[in-house]
Chains A and B, each alone.
Chain A
């Protein structure tokens, strides 16, 4: 028994160390690299922090990505807001209705949730070109919206399933319409669910790359696209690349670290029930 618990302790310590190295090392190196000059990088002391921290790398990277940062912010916020609203409404329908149609419809929504983007890309581009939306932010907002609405609906629906029906029954028996019930009774109770879903959708849209690659113009370039451009055009300037990468991930990382409870709840809801 004693030896068993000792091997266990060794195992745990080993795992801890291995995981710490695997997950801290990349970020640590990225941070130190982003604060060096190219000359310092070529000395190859990656684990040492520079003695002369180059914060101007960040200033330079920030200047490069600023327009893209604004575009991403506009797109991600619009899509998230619309997804929360429409996903909430759709999710309420999916979670509260038990008709033959709603059952079949659920399967369709469920499959749509995981549709690989490639399979709708060609018609999407045609659609955006025909409507002229491709040249504006609305193109990317619309495309992201179409692809995220099923996911948002199912996610909100799973949360609604957990809300006891007595609440709505009382109101409905009093003659209130479903719309009234939804906005006045259910939504206030479901605020934490909205928090989870908005964080997940925001992160997803912020991190989205394929649609941006195909649909974005010079004026609607997103931050992910800008990062690939920086990586491609400043091949040797790893300090700049790393600074830009850190700027790109800072917004979702803020959500993850500051609101991790909601973030994890959203991840789990998307995985275990949807």
Chain B
């Protein structure tokens, strides 16, 4: 299974009214090109802070579906977050870990998941529920659909083959971190009918 094929398959299940937090790497451009219209995704450039950001968002907006697009490198950088997630178990959060077993963006040295580490077992041991490992697109699509719709937390580890889709420069995610923040924040404000950060002067 290639990452782009899984992303293409699950993308139609995610709507502009769902909110997503995406890890870095080739995932950025894949999801950027297949995400629903609008700015429903925040792209923190911070390995180890994807699940935690999604957790905070899920607790803040319990009525809304939240998706965390994780990566093995990011999860491994902050494994305690699995335990916190397993304690909180927000029913509106689905975590999808794209596990290619390597640090692809820096040339491909192996992560521990290519050796003896099993993220799904770690998540279960940390208290997470509805944990699944998927190895092909059809299983990934079925698990993602089930966990997105079941009103319980879900944790999917998708074992994929290394390889990045060769996006043309014009199709790559063009925004930086500050622009990403404001676009996502204004999207949430519209969805929720709230003001998060007022730009106008306050008296």
Q: Do A and B bind each other?
A: no
